[in-house]
Amino acid sequence: MEITYKKGEVAQTKKRKIHADGIKLLLMTLPFIVFVIAFSYVPLFGWAYAFFDYRPGIPLSQTDFVGMEHFREMLHDRDMLRVMINTLALSLLSILAAPLPLVLAIMISEVRNGFFKRLIQTTTTLPNYISWIIVFSLAFSMFSSEGAINTIIARLGLSDTPLNVLGNPEHVWLVQTLLLIWKTIGWNAIIYLAAIVGIDGEQYDAAKIDGAGRFHSIVHITIPNIMPTFIVLLLLAVSNLLSAGFEQYLVFNNIMVADKIEVLDLYVYRLGLVTNDYPYSTAVGMFKSVISIILLFMINSLSKRVRGESII
C-alpha cells in the first residue's frame, strides 16, 4: 500500500518535471521560431499585393481589390511569353548539359596518376566557390574587345573585327549555358565521383577476369551504378525549370542581349523595381512559386512510385 502510493507520487513528480522541461525547451525555442516566421513566412503575406490595384505610396487598405485581374493580365502579356521562352530554353539547355558532370566524373575516376587526379579535381571545383560577379569579371577579361581572346585573334591576324561573345543576342543562350557548365561541372562531378568510389571493386575484378576492357567496364558497371544518382539530380533540375539562375543573368545582362536573357526572375525584378508595378510583379512571382512547388511534388511522387524513394 505504502509502496504503491510512493511509486505513484514519484511517477507524478517525474511527469510534472518532464512537463516543466518541455515548457522550458519551448520557451528557448520560441525566439528561433519567431525568427523563422519573420523571415520565411511573413513575406508570404506580400502575396496579397497580387490581388489589389496597389500603387506605391497608397496604403494597401485604401486600394481596390481586383481579384484575379493581374493573373489574367499574364495571358495577354507579350513580354511574359518571351520571358517564358527564355526561361524554358535556358533551363532545357542546362538539363541537356546534365550528363557532362557524369562524364567528367568517369573520366577522372579512370585516371591512374594520383597527382593529376587530385589536380584536376581541385581545379575544376574552384569556379563553384566564386560569385557570379567574379565569373562576369573573368569572362569580361577574356571576351571583351580588349580581352585576352580578341587580342590573341588580332595578334594572329585571324580576323579584323573583334569577336563579340557577351553582346551577341544570337548565341546568348549557348554562351550562358557554357558559362554555367564552366562554373558547375567540377562541383557536380563530386557527387558522381563519390558514387563511383562506393561501387564494389569486386565487380570490376570479375569483369576483368571475363576479359572486359575498360570501356566495357565503364558501360556495364560504372554507368548502371551511378544511374540512380543521375536520375535524382535530373529530377531536381526539372523541378527547378522556372528558376533559371537569377544572379547569372542579372550580371550578364546588357542592352544587346536583354531580350533573350530576361528570365522569369529578372522580369519579376524589372516589373517590380524598375517600373514599380508591384501587384503585377508579385502575381508573376507567385505564379512561378506555385508552379515550382507543384512540379516538385509531382516529380517527388513520380519518383516515389517508380523508384520507391522520395527525392526531397
Here's the x/- map for other proteins, 7-26, by CB under 8 A: it reads as: -----------x--xx-xxx
Our finding on whether 34 is near other proteins (CB under 8 A) is no
Our finding on whether 122 is near other proteins (CB under 8 A) is yes
Q: Is 65 helix (H, G, I), strand (E, B) or coil?
A: strand
Q: Which of residues 90-119 bind other proteins (CB under 8 A)?
A: 104, 107-108, 110-111, 116, 119
Our finding on whether 228 is near other proteins (CB under 8 A) is no
**125-128: long-range pairs with CB below 8 Å, 24+:** 125/186, 125/187, 125/190, 126/186, 127/182, 127/183, 127/184, 127/186, 128/183, 128/184, 128/186, 128/187
Considering beta carbons, is residue 5 or 115 the nearer one to other proteins?
115
Q: Least distance to other proteins from the beta carbon of 219, Å?
A: 12
Our finding on whether 296 is near other proteins (CB under 8 A) is yes
Q: Least distance to other proteins from the beta carbon of 136, Å?
A: 6
User: Closest Cα partner for 272 from 31, 46, 64?
Assistant: 46
Our finding on whether 49 is near other proteins (CB under 8 A) is yes
Considering beta carbons, is residue 3 or 195 the nearer one to other proteins?
195
Our finding on whether 159 is near other proteins (CB under 8 A) is no
Q: Which of residues 164-223 bind other proteins (CB under 8 A)?
A: 182, 185-186, 190-191, 194, 213-215
Sole binder of other proteins in the list 142, 294, 298, 302 (CB under 8 A): 142
The residue length of the chain stands at 312
User: Closest Cα partner for 264 from 279, 278, 245?
Assistant: 245
CA pair distance 14, 147, nearest whole angstrom: 74
* 234 CB neighbour count, 10 Å cutoff: 15
**140-147: long-range pairs with CB below 8 Å, 24+:** 140/166
Our finding on whether 65 is near other proteins (CB under 8 A) is no
Grid coordinates of 76: 495577354
